[in-house]
């Protein structure tokens, strides 16, 4: 008999459906063969539990008396978007509290609501004839809201690139803490249990499909934002009723130095209707590859150091440039398993039936980068084109004279080929005055590890270098390390004067 979704749902209702998690499938197929697995299994459940920044809830507060058309609204000091009629708001998970900064945000408000904690709502308005009230302040719990609907624009990434840092300082990113000199690798995603990785052709993952979301029954709206399945980075837009969710599957978090995010459990059941589904759900961690990307490069096109499979990442170590480097997941595999198995239990106990997509999701799309019509300022536009140079063998007295004559605080030190070898500042020379016996020539006092910028570097990146290193100037060098200018704090302040930043 041909397998249909109705037949599977009938078996679910009768309590006879065989439901397994995607982690079991590779072994089942090895044991029973593809045909055997098809005959045996009705539904495969997937699950993931990780940071899903692109999440949030629509809240309806009902009308106050006298009524207010909320123009700005805050929940526990976290602002929600209220440009959607009078008493609705969308609270984003990553929005931070105005008073507690990254220690509390939209995700924490959502978790507090789900935990049954009341939150303080305040709103303001300019007042209209139909909505005369201008301010309101009240305490609300989840039960007081007419609707609290989670709508997440981009969840359940098919896979996610692993992160590494080749710079010499610690980076704090949304991929967690990245130690210098590729000291560790972080990654995210449930690999073998990942929903889209078990149906990469989007045959059964599509609009209207019921899912597990935060402990409640939710549904797939359609493709997520940044959906890029052509490269293996599909995403889903999903929704679910916050009132039915559980704090076990919804946890607020803070990535140090990045900000607030929401950890969320999401699982998609896949009906096993044909051999192609059997093959797709037999995917293993070894089959799913991602790049290890260098977050030390402050550009969208971050270079990849190598490709790696989830199997390697989950082994605890990967080899990067000849060294064994420890890995850390940022998503919880234990919780991903729990999501998949709780979803399996719900289905096999008849608590949830399946549906085919009402609309299919595009499997060929590629997300494009932002079109930028106005380029931000570059270093070459604001740098000083003159710099005062010296060589390392010259005495410090010559350096002092040059600094005074050049009316500058920085001398670039050039080697015999005219390339940048160091920098000398008035501070270095002051030290030389105090310890004349140790500092005779420029070489003795100069800084050799010079932090530099390039003429085409965005000014924002150069400004970050000045600030982070607490320095006042950057030599501007070309690809050959020849000095083509200097960028100082004064150059930056002129930019502010011109209103360019």
Q: Please, what is the minimum distance in Å from the beta carbon of residue 118 to other proteins?
A: 21
Cα first-last separation, the chain: 68
130 counts as catalytic: yes
- Exposure of 87 by Cβ count < 10 A (0-12 exposed, 13-18 middle, 19+ buried)? buried
Q: Is 64 in the site for other proteins (CB under 8 A)?
A: no
Q: Is 184 in the site for other proteins (CB under 8 A)?
A: yes
- Which residue in the set 25, 43, 44, 51 belongs to the binding site for other proteins (CB under 8 A)? 51
Q: Which residues are within 8 A (CB) of 112 and not within 5 positions of it... i.e. 6 or more apart?
A: 76, 119
Token pair 């809830």 in the structure block, residue: 57
Question: Quick one: 173 or 452, whose CB is closer to other proteins?
Answer: 173
Q: Please, what is the minimum distance in Å from the beta carbon of residue 182 to other proteins?
A: 11
CA dist., res. 49 & res. 189, Å (int): 8
Binding span for other proteins by CB under 8 A among 35-43, 173-181, 290-298, 474-482: 173-181
H/E stretch holding 80: strand 78-80
**HSE of 368 in the Cβ direction (CA atoms, 13 Å)?**
3
Token readout for 200 is 């990469």
Q: Is 251 in the site for other proteins (CB under 8 A)?
A: yes
Q: Calculate the alpha carbon distances from 367 to 204, 229, 370 in Å.
A: 22, 9, 10
Q: Is 254 in the site for other proteins (CB under 8 A)?
A: yes
Token pair 């140079």 in the structure block, residue: 389
- Which residue in the set 11, 337, 346, 410 belongs to the binding site for other proteins (CB under 8 A)? 337
Q: Is 116 in the site for other proteins (CB under 8 A)?
A: no
Question: Quick one: 26 or 206, whose CB is closer to other proteins?
Answer: 26
Q: Please, what is the minimum distance in Å from the beta carbon of residue 150 to other proteins?
A: 18
- Which residue in the set 37, 255, 320, 342 belongs to the binding site for other proteins (CB under 8 A)? 255
Are the C-beta atoms of 320 and 37 separated by less than 8 Å?
Answer: no
Q: Please, what is the minimum distance in Å from the beta carbon of residue 23 to other proteins?
A: 11
Q: Is 172 in the site for other proteins (CB under 8 A)?
A: yes
H/E stretch holding 275: helix 275-281
Q: Is 176 in the site for other proteins (CB under 8 A)?
A: yes
Q: Is 333 in the site for other proteins (CB under 8 A)?
A: yes
- Which residue in the set 316, 351, 376, 418 belongs to the binding site for other proteins (CB under 8 A)? 316
Are the C-beta atoms of 229 and 195 separated by less than 8 Å?
Answer: no
Question: Quick one: 65 or 168, whose CB is closer to other proteins?
Answer: 168
Q: Is 335 in the site for other proteins (CB under 8 A)?
A: yes
Binding span for other proteins by CB under 8 A among 136-144, 180-188, 226-234, 271-279: 180-188
Describe the strand order of the beta sheet including 389-391 as a list of residue ranges: 389-391, 410-414, 420-425
H/E stretch holding 56: strand 56-60
Question: Quick one: 109 or 253, whose CB is closer to other proteins?
Answer: 253
Q: Which of 65, 126, 130, 436 is catalytic?
A: 130
Query: What are the backbone dihedrals phi and psi of residue 341, each rounded to the nearest 5 degrees, phi first?
Result: -80, -35
- Exposure of 323 by Cβ count < 10 A (0-12 exposed, 13-18 middle, 19+ buried)? exposed
Are the C-beta atoms of 72 and 100 separated by less than 8 Å?
Answer: no
Q: Which of 207, 281, 212 is nearest to 249 (CA)?
A: 212
Q: Please, what is the minimum distance in Å from the beta carbon of residue 55 to other proteins?
A: 15
Q: Please, what is the minimum distance in Å from the beta carbon of residue 171 to other proteins?
A: 11
Are the C-beta atoms of 253 and 107 separated by less than 8 Å?
Answer: yes
Count residues near other proteins (CB under 8 A). Answer: 30
Binding span for other proteins by CB under 8 A among 44-52, 134-142, 303-311, 464-472: 44-52
Q: Please, what is the minimum distance in Å from the beta carbon of residue 262 to other proteins?
A: 10
DSSP state, residue 498: T
3-state DSSP helix/strand/coil % of the chain, to nearest 5: 25, 35, 40
Q: Is 327 in the site for other proteins (CB under 8 A)?
A: yes
Q: Is 332 in the site for other proteins (CB under 8 A)?
A: yes
Q: Which residues are within 8 A (CB) of 119 and not within 5 positions of it... i.e. 6 or more apart?
A: 75, 76, 109, 112, 113, 139, 140, 141
Binding span for other proteins by CB under 8 A among 4-12, 60-68, 170-178, 391-399: 170-178
Binding span for other proteins by CB under 8 A among 25-33, 54-62, 256-264, 299-307: 256-264
Q: Which residues are within 8 A (CB) of 434 and not within 5 positions of it... i.e. 6 or more apart?
A: none
Q: Please, what is the minimum distance in Å from the beta carbon of residue 315 to other proteins?
A: 11
Q: Is 256 in the site for other proteins (CB under 8 A)?
A: yes
Question: Quick one: 131 or 249, whose CB is closer to other proteins?
Answer: 249
Q: Which residues bind other proteins (CB under 8 A)?
A: 49-51, 172, 176-177, 179, 184-186, 251, 253-256, 261, 263, 316, 325-335, 337
Q: Catalytic amino acids? A: 130
């Amino acid at each position: 008999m041909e397998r249909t979704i109705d037949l599977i749902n009938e078996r679910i209702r009768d309590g006879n459906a065989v439901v397994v998690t995607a982690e079991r499938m590779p072994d089942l197929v090895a044991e029973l063969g593809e045909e055997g697995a098809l005959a045996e299994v009705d539904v495969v459940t997937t699950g993931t539990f990780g940071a899903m920044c692109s999440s949030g809830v629509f809240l309806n507060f009902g009308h106050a008396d006298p009524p207010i058309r909320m123009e700005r609204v805050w929940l526990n000091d976290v602002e929600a978007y209220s440009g959607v009629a009078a008493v609705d708001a969308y609270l984003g998970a990553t929005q931070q509290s105005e008073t507690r900064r990254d220690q509390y945000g939209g995700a924490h408000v959502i978790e507090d609501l789900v935990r049954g904690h009341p939150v303080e709502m305040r709103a303001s308005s300019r007042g209209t004839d139909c909505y005369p009230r201008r301010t309101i302040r009240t305490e609300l719990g989840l039960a007081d809201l007419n609707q609290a609907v989670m709508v997440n624009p981009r969840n359940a990434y098919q896979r996610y690139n692993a992160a590494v840092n080749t710079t010499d300082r610690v980076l704090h990113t949304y991929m967690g803490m990245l130690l210098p000199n590729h000291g560790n690798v972080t990654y995210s995603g449930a690999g073998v249990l990942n929903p889209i990785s078990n149906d990469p052709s989007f045959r059964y993952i599509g609009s209207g499909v019921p899912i597990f979301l935060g402990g409640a029954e939710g549904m797939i709206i359609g493709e997520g934002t940044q959906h890029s399945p052509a490269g293996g980075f599909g995403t889903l837009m999903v929704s679910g009723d916050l009132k039915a969710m559980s704090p076990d599957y919804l946890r607020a978090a803070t990535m140090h130095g990045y900000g607030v995010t929401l950890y969320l459990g999401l699982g998609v059941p896949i009906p096993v209707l044909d051999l192609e589904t059997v093959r797709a759900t037999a995917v293993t961690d070894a089959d799913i590859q991602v790049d290890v990307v260098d977050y030390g490069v402050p550009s969208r096109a971050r270079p990849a150091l190598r490709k790696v499979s989830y199997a390697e990442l989950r082994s605890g170590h990967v080899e990067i440039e000849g060294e064994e480097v420890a890995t850390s997941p940022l998503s919880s595999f234990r919780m991903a398993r729990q999501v998949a198995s709780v979803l399996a239990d719900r289905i096999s106990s008849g608590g949830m039936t399946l549906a085919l997509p009402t609309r299919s999701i595009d499997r060929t799309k590629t997300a494009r980068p932002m079109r930028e019509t106005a380029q931000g300022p570059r270093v070459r536009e604001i740098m000083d084109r003159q710099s005062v140079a010296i060589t390392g063998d010259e005495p410090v007295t010559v350096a002092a004279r040059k600094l005074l004559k050049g009316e500058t605080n920085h001398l670039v030190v050039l080697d015999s080929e005219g390339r940048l070898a160091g920098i000398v500042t008035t501070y270095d020379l002051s030290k030389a005055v105090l310890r004349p016996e140790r500092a005779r020539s420029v070489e003795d006092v100069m800084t050799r590890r010079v932090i530099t910028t390039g003429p085409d570097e965005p000014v924002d990146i150069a400004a970050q270098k000045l600030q982070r290193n607490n320095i006042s100037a950057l030599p501007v060098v070309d690809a050959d390390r020849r000095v083509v200018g200097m960028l100082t704090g004064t150059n930056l302040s002129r930019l502010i004067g011109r209103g360019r930043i």
